[in-house]
């Protein structure tokens, strides 16, 4: 498990203005590490089972724990985590609980490691793999991270009447680990791949996140499942600064 920053304790009910978020990694079993962001520092709290973080009931559906984790492409400190989740592209996904628990405001950051093969072989008619989705009450996309058949990342998000996009960066469908960070406010977005800024936009963000679960590796409503691996997913209730993005790796 990789966590950057100082030690100490952060209580999710404290007045820091930072929403609790998931950050999952795997060691000998399925564990999740809860981290807070306080005054620009990442604070490790504890390791808990996947269903014990701030009352959320995240569920692994079919995905398997594998001995394969992100390589340290930025010479980060050694970590004990050697496991990640593998999704078969058929019916596996990670259910994080209601999307509105995480994306009820227009200010957010999502961060995770992922590994995915050639998306040109994505399901007929989709032309993409949806690797993360926040949903509305009816299961429509509120925010989604796609890897297109071009191999580039696009993050699409609700603007009040339709979906706007922040897209770009290198080809990532090469079966290698890559790290993604996407930040948004009500009027500005930034996308980072492997720690580098690859796109910035000034679209309107108007959350319609609802009761349907946020998911990794699938848009369940559309029966779209991605064959991929994922590790260390984080969701913040703030837009991380460029300086903080490296710390999210």
pLDDT of residue 31: 42
pLDDT of residue 73: 43
pLDDT of residue 84: 79
Phi, psi of 145, deg, nearest 5: -105, 120
Residue whose structure tokens are 């680990």: 177
Q: Is 239 helix (H, G, I), strand (E, B) or coil?
A: coil
Tokens of 244: 């903080």
Q: Where are the beta strands (DSSP E) in the chain?
A: 24-26, 30-38, 41-48, 59-61, 64-66, 84-88, 93-98, 108-116, 128-135, 141-148, 153-158, 163-168, 177-184, 189-193, 196-201, 213-216, 218-219, 224-225, 227-236
Cα pseudo-dihedral 118, 119, 121, 124, rounded to 10: 180
Provide the phi-psi class of 106: left if phi over 0, else alpha when psi is between -120 and 50, else beta.
alpha
pLDDT of residue 98: 87
Q: Are 1 and 81 in contact (CB under 8 A)?
A: yes
Strand 108-116 vs strand 227-236: parallel, antiparallel, or unpaired? antiparallel
* CA atoms of 106 and 38, how far apart (whole Å): 20
pLDDT of residue 43: 37
Residue whose structure tokens are 């029966």: 223
CATH number of 24-248: 2.60.120.200
Average pLDDT of the chain to the nearest whole number: 75
Phi, psi of 209, deg, nearest 5: -55, 135
Tokens of 81: 């985590």
Domain chopping of the chain, boundaries: 24-248
* CA atoms of 143 and 103, how far apart (whole Å): 9
pLDDT tens for the chain, 249 residues long, are 232 222 222 223 223 333 444 445 444 344 444 444 443 333 333 443 343 444 455 677 888 877 777 754 444 444 455 677 889 999 999 888 889 888 889 998 898 889 999 887 666 445 689 999 999 999 999 999 999 989 999 999 999 999 999 999 999 999 999 999 999 999 999 999 999 999 999 999 999 999 999 999 999 999 999 999 988 777 878 888 887 787 666
Whether the pTM exceeds 0.85: the reply is no
Residue whose structure tokens are 């989705």: 133
pLDDT of residue 215: 92
Phi, psi of 248, deg, nearest 5: -80, -10
pLDDT of residue 26: 44
pLDDT of residue 64: 80
pLDDT of residue 81: 53
């Amino acid at each position: 498990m990789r966590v950057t920053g100082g030690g100490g304790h952060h209580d999710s009910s404290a007045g820091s203005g930072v929403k609790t978020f998931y950050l999952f990694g795997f060691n000998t079993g399925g564990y999740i590490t809860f981290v807070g962001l306080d005054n620009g520092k990442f604070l490790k709290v504890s390791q808990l089972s996947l269903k014990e973080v701030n009352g959320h009931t995240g569920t692994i559906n079919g995905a398997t724990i594998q001995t394969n984790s992100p390589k340290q492409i930025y010479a980060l400190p050694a970590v004990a985590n050697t496991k990640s989740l593998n999704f078969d592209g058929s019916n596996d996904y990670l259910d994080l609980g209601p999307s509105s628990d995480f994306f009820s405001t227009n200010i957010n950051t999502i961060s995770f490691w992922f590994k995915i093969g050639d998306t040109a072989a994505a399901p007929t008619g989709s032309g993409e793999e949806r690797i993360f989705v926040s949903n509305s009450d009816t299961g429509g996309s509120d925010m989604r991270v796609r890897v297109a058949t071009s191999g580039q990342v696009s993050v699409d998000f609700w603007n009040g009447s339709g979906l706007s996009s922040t897209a770009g960066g290198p080809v990532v469908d090469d079966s290698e680990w890559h790290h993604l960070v996407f930040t948004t406010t009500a009027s500005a977005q930034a996308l980072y791949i492997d720690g580098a800024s690859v796109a910035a936009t000034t679209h309107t963000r108007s959350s319609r996140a609802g009761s349907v679960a946020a998911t990794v590796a699938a848009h369940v409503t559309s029966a779209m499942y991605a064959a991929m691996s994922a590790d260390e997913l984080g969701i913040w209730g703030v837009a991380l600064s460029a300086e903080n993005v490296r710390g999210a790796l």
